[in-house]
Chain A
Amino acid sequence: MTEFVYLYRGYELPASPEEMQQKTAKWMIWLKELSDKGHLKSLGEPLLPGGKVVKGTKKQVIDGPYAEAKDVVGGYSIIVARDIDQAVNFSLGCPIFGDGGSVEIREIGQLEPGDGY
């Protein structure tokens, strides 16, 4: 089994409390299902809006990330899957797609024994 990170990007914030509740419930149901199947390693954490970006040799500090809303990472989870295809497959039930967001799926690099560490 291999570990993957799901980066959740760019979901729209619902306008009403009722929509927020429905959205919260959908995410909880989806993650619980992954967890019940033993594929959720970590729920991850939400990344709150705002923040700073430091860049360049001058270590310039700017407010950001200044990406478009659809590109901002709003949170992540760590899952385990057989391979990238299965990891992609698991992501299909994510409620984010209904809100115009995306899931970026990245394999987490592992140190193999014998790498000299």
Chain B
Amino acid sequence: MDIEEHFFRHEFGRIVATLTRLFGVGNVALAEDVAQDAFCRAMETWMLRGLPKNPSAWLMATARNRALDVLRRQHTAIVAEPELTRFLESEWTLVPTVEEAFSASAVKDSQLRMMFSCCHPRLPEDAQIALILHILCGFSVKEIAQAFVSSYAAIEKRITRAKKVLAESTKLFDLGDADFPARLSSVLQALYLLFNEGYHGSSADAAVRADLCQEAMLLMNLLISQPALVSPKSYALAALMYLNAARLPGRLDGSDNLVSFFEQDRSLWNHNVIAEGQALLDLSASGTELTKYHIEAAIASVHASAAGSEDTDWKQIVSLYDMLMAMHPSPVIALNRAIAVAQLEGPEQGLQEIRSIHDLHRLFAYPFYPATLGELELRSGKYAVAKAHFSTALSLARNATERNFLQRRIDSCKES
């Protein structure tokens, strides 16, 4: 008998959110301790006795019983959500109230409220993401530090500070609150950044990065599973995630080498996931708001539906990048736009576009800036120039996978 991959981690997030709802948002640490306790109990029992028939129900029941103990013992120390307090104070209503909090729909609701609570406007985006990963996705500080190629101390500090801000609220974010639309934008941005960290991030471990993408998608699915909370931009972000994630399998070859976008084996792309992404993109096409998620999803959709880079509608991609630049000008987007221009009008034109990027200096530390220059020079037959650019890129590479890739590009200049 096997448990689903990351089962413990996901159940941990569900249980902490549920316990926080019962114990109050000022008691996240207590919720984590109680959850940890339930998990130790599960592990110690399961490793010798094997899995119970329904591991999730077993964990939930253990956590529920521990919650009842805590609520009975620590009566006065618990400042639950105002609307729950009086039910938790009386033994008559304590048990049914706790059971209700552990029902499937209440657990989902608590997770969502926790997700919105983590995106507190007083928290910087990187703290929101760390908090989401820690509390909702069950990542330890060490695992977050690994995923973000950051130090343990830095992540720990970030999470401790973030929890303090969280604890100052009187309750978990109310999804019926007037602030909902603004907070939804923060939640989407955090999930977008979490996904991107997985998709483009600096961790050398492809499995770690795929994990981050998967976590972002699970939370995204939770969000769009609630009809009352859905908006076209949520669908657009979900579509973007699906259409990009579907193409992850093509990015590495059998030996874990990075494969250039133009040389990827598109039969490796997950076409079921692409179809789901396209369906989500259709759902996003309502209302009047056009977001960066819509445009980025549309770009991903053009790539995902093309049989190869020669069959890609580069003209449309360039015009989508134009829209994106008008909305959120950034040198990275401009660089991607220039690559599309090079496909459409040739490498010389692409290089010309790169030279005219506003704020070009902001790309100087980004390894894929010189790597792009190298690609385009290589295509123009200027091997020596190309090689110099690839060497610069190599010196900026963030991990072994990038270094191997760039080294092979340098070698290909020699061969030519």
Chain A residues in the interface with B (C-beta under 8 A): 13-21, 23-28, 31, 43-46, 48, 74-75, 77
Contacts and interface: CB of A to CB of B under 8 A. Distances in A.
A24 B12 contact: no
Closest 6 CB pairs of A and B: A16-B140, A27-B47, A17-B8, A21-B8, A17-B12, A46-B44
Contacts of A21: 3, 6-9
A18 B48 contact: no
B9 A18 contact: yes
Most A C-beta atoms less than 10 A away, residue of B12, B42, B44, B142:
B44
B138 A16 contact: yes
B169 to A, nearest CB: 25
B39 A17 contact: yes
A18 B49 contact: no
A30 to B, nearest CB: 9
Nearest to B13: A17
B46 interface: yes
A43 B140 contact: no
Nearest to A96: B47
Given A13-B40, A25-B3, A18 B47 contact: no
A46 B48 contact: yes
A92 B39 CA distance: 27
B60 to A, nearest CB: 14
A106 B138 CA distance: 39
Nearest to A18: B9
Given A16-B143, A46-B49, A23 B43 contact: yes
A45 B48 contact: yes
8 contacts: A13-B43, A18-B138, A18-B139, A19-B140, A23-B47, A27-B48, A28-B1, A48-B44
Contacts of A77: 48
Contacts of B43: 13-14, 20, 23-24
Contacts of B95: none
A17 B9 contact: yes
A10 B51 CA distance: 22
A46 B12 CA distance: 22
B11 A28 contact: no
Contacts of A44: 48
A19 B2 CA distance: 15
B399 interface: no
B315 interface: no
A23 B43 CA distance: 8
Contact of B48 (A14, A19, A20, A75): A75
A24 B47 contact: yes
A20 B39 CA distance: 8
A75 B46 CA distance: 11
A17 B51 contact: no
B346 interface: no
B47 A17 contact: no
Contact of A28 (B9, B44, B50): B50
B408 to A, nearest CB: 33
B150 interface: no
A24 B4 CA distance: 12
Contacts of B11: 17
Contact of B46 (A18, A28, A48): A28
B45 interface: yes
Interface in B110-160: 138-140, 142-143
**Most chain-A Cβ atoms within 10 A of its Cβ — which of B3, B8, B12, B46?**
B8
Contacts of A46: 44-45, 47-49
Given A16-B139, A18-B138, A23-B43, A31 B7 contact: no
A23 B44 CA distance: 10
B47 A16 contact: no
Interface string B37-69: 001111111111111000000000000000000
B9 A74 contact: no
B142 A20 contact: no
Nearest to B12: A17
Contacts of B140: 15-19
A46 B41 CA distance: 9
A14 B39 CA distance: 10
A73 B12 CA distance: 26
A21 B9 CA distance: 8
Contact of B8 (A13, A20, A26): A20
A26 B1 CA distance: 12
